Amino acid sequence: MLERELAGVPGILVENKRLTLTVHFRASPESYATQVDETVVATAAPYVAAGKMKITRGKNVVEVRPNLDWGKGNAIDRILEDCGDNPLPMFFGDDETDEDGFVAVQNAGGLAVYVGPPRQHTRALHQLESPAEVGQMLALLVRLAEPDEQ
């Protein structure tokens, strides 16, 4: 139904993730952003009003998800429960939806890194400009972790 409502929007991607429905509009002209948001909100309104679903927004994305207290931060906490006594968690993200993940990793003594141009509002304590810089950083960490062959 939502795909039909948004059929006239170029560059739109409606992704059924089974538990959530995500509408991506990064490839759409900026002039369509309000239309996409309003269409998703109107379509989900009966479920939101009934308390069954909620709307979340990120960078050129609108998501309809179950109205549960669950997110990336909760997932990180669950993963860390199985990581032994001394994990060093790292979390890289580029969107508003990553903020609870940044908090969870930092609370566990880990490294939270926002990836993208500097922005004022992020809970990540570190920032890299691009995914390429993430790759460089990870390669450096691998080299540092390798035993010296003297």
Please compute the mean of the pLDDT values over residues 81-94 and round it to a whole number.
91
pLDDT digits (tens, 9 = 90+) for 6-19: 999 999 999 998 88
Report the 10 Å Cβ neighbour count for 149. Answer: 4
pLDDT at 149: 66
User: Residue 147 gets which letter from DSSP?
Assistant: P
pLDDT at 123: 93
SS3 4: helix
3-class SS string, 8-61: CCCCCEEEECCCCEEEECCCCCHHHHHHHHHHHHHHHHHHHHCCCEEEEEECCE
Domain 2-66 annotated CATH 3.30.70: yes
1 and 35 in contact (C-beta within 8 Å)?
no
What is the pTM (predicted TM-score) of this model? Answer: 0.71
pLDDT digits (tens, 9 = 90+) for 27-73: 999 999 999 999 999 999 999 999 999 999 988 999 999 998 888 89
For the chain, the domains span 2-66, 72-145
